[in-house]
Structure 1
Amino acid sequence: MKFYIKSISFSLLTLLLMACGNAENKAKKEDKPLKPTYQVTNVKSDTLKYKLSLPGELKPYEEVTLYAKIEGFVEKLNVDRGDLVKKGEILLNIEAPEIQQKLLAARAKQREIAEKLSFSAQNYQRMNRASEVEGAISSIELEQTKTRFMVTVLL
């Protein structure tokens, strides 16, 4: 019985050593670098046999929202959608009849103020010359005329 136990233990030890030896041999074989293999085929040109239509949406890299500085109507459009534009380039011209009317009104107001200034200056000069004569004009009237002239100048 002891003999069987010794022979079984010896057999197991032998199997164990053999298994370790096979692992070392496999590791040595795997360490060798293998040359890569490639499959090669000939390329040929061909036409498409079917057409594929898919829905899609094109979006630009950059988007800009434009706002007009003044209200008006587009007179001339210099660019179209998708055109390349540079900084400072004029995209469109706006016609603004309201602005033209405001300009004409401002010029009329300017002429009116210039006329009032001229009249006030002439009136003050006449009153000042008349005040040189004793008793022709009272000092209060001269002061009122001077005040009206100064107010007109400040407008």
Structure 2
Amino acid sequence: VKLTEMFKDKTIEKRYLCICKGNFKNIKGRIETLIGRDPKDRKKMAVVTENGKVAITNYEVVDSVDNFSLVEVGIETGRTHQIRVHMKSLNHPILGDSTYGNPDNIAKRQMLHSYYLKFNHPITNEELIIVGDLKEDFKSVAKRLKLDIKKVSRLNK
């Protein structure tokens, strides 16, 4: 119960890595929009101007090569498909995301991975940091594109 409250209270820091198509104009940014049902396709979410909920995503490009970027993402809100929708809104859809991008032969699935959690233990209040391993297919796609995962500082601790 306490952990559920911590997610709601935004006292848990969550970080993700994704491989996006294209090269970003700004290597760091904050996206603050409303996200709601896509008026053209009710099965999808979209950045909307009304009838949506506030969604806040912070991103930083960790590495980039021709036409691809390795991006670290932190979210302040947890909306459905938030990272995927926000990356698409910047015209940098996540590689392999057939819903919010275009299918391709490089990745068999969307290249989005949750890898970092930081929070205080609900009972002892001790700060806990959990860093998950990246999936092999994610590492393999990054390597094939020549994106350097070693540049992700939180993975090197």
* TM-score, normalisation: structure 2: 0.15
RCO (CA 8 Å, sep 6+): is it higher in 1 or 2? 2
Answer with 1 or 2: which has the greater Rg. Answer: 1
Which structure features the higher share of helix residues?
A: 1
Which of the two has greater strand per residue? Answer: 2
TM-score normalised according to structure 1 size: 0.15
